[in-house]
Structure 1
């Protein structure tokens, strides 16, 4: 009976991890429009995976006390960050002499990682109340988000080659649209 419950929890958590990882995929698709090396893409995926482990871990530890209040704030902050990143990419696409203000390198990578993993904090709060297995949860969240981030970045990189000078505009539009989706 315990094995059946574990398999059920594994399937449920895997579906949730995939759904949360799709956020990272979508944003990775937009950020992949920037000229990135494969080494940068690998590093970004690992960082996003780590943040998708740390954020739900923090949420699970905090649990029941502030779940409703903080969940809404996390979504607002994440959506706002994506709006700002998308808007900046769109603006910089019209000015070819200037480097993007925020790129997924250094501080920009931190902003990028936080923006795509804030929603996993909210989910962690809910799972903390539910009593999900913490280690299993954070490992699945990290794994799926890392793989899906890599997939999004690599697809975005491919589209960037096809779209040429319009790729940054498209990437910014994707981030902007995803930020609006989070806020609405």
Structure 2
């Protein structure tokens, strides 16, 4: 696999994280570039690590991972998205303000849910001629870039949609999860 193919793969794999980042950015109160970079870093590290884990698992577990990866991602994104929708449906408390940043664990779970497909891709990378270290770094950097841009784009979207940003962010996460399931079932 040539390096240009790895770059294309990296950006293709990070599109679901980009969509989730827009939702995350929309739910924050005027997220700063620092918060966008923090979010991008968390997503990038997790997205970079998961193909290495998949690569290490190798062929023996490939059928188990690919059989369940889309359902795990969908379930995690459904739960996170559902929680965001419920929070958006709550009557707004005038004293309560939108957070300025998400907790590490909320970001880590979302990042993991959007990177489960990278685990399965990593299994596939174990059987072709690819430098897994450079592929993982490329995937992580592409995800970091796209998530950082996504959070900042979410800032603009959040202003435009106001109070319902959290609900829309939740719907986006559920759509990302449903898309992952659809793509896996459609490919089968």
Give the TM interval when normalised to the shorter protein: 0.7 to 0.9
Secondary structure (helix, strand or coil) at the match of 2:26 reads coil
In 1, the alpha carbon distance for the partners of 2:73 and 2:123 equals: 16
Query: Bigger CA drift: 16-25 or 32-41?
Result: 32-41
Query: Bigger CA drift: 168-177 or 11-20?
Result: 168-177
In 2, the alpha carbon distance for the partners of 1:158 and 1:69 equals: 40
> Over aligned residues, Cα RMSD in angstroms?
1.8
In 2, the alpha carbon distance for the partners of 1:66 and 1:107 equals: 27
1:99-127 deviation digits (Å, cap 9, x = unpaired): 89xx8413212211211111111100111
Q: Which residue of 1 aligns with 2:158?
A: 160
Secondary structure (helix, strand or coil) at the match of 2:130 reads coil
Q: Does 1:144 align with 2:137?
A: no
Q: Does 1:45 align with 2:43?
A: no
1:45-71 deviation digits (Å, cap 9, x = unpaired): 001111111100111111111112112
- Paired residue total: 175
CA gap 1:116/1:137 in 2 versus in 1, 3 angstroms:
same
1:122-169 deviation digits (Å, cap 9, x = unpaired): 100111122321111101100101001111111111100111112112
In 2, the alpha carbon distance for the partners of 1:177 and 1:113 equals: 15
Q: Which residue of 2 aligns with 1:105?
A: 103
Secondary structure (helix, strand or coil) at the match of 2:2 reads helix
In 2, the alpha carbon distance for the partners of 1:23 and 1:72 equals: 19
Task: Give the TM-score, by structure 1 length.
Answer: 0.88
The answer on whether the counterparts of 1:104 and 1:110 sit within 8 Å (CA) in structure 2 is: no
In 2, the alpha carbon distance for the partners of 1:177 and 1:52 equals: 19
Deviation, structure 1 residue 94? 1.2
In 2, the alpha carbon distance for the partners of 1:183 and 1:154 equals: 27
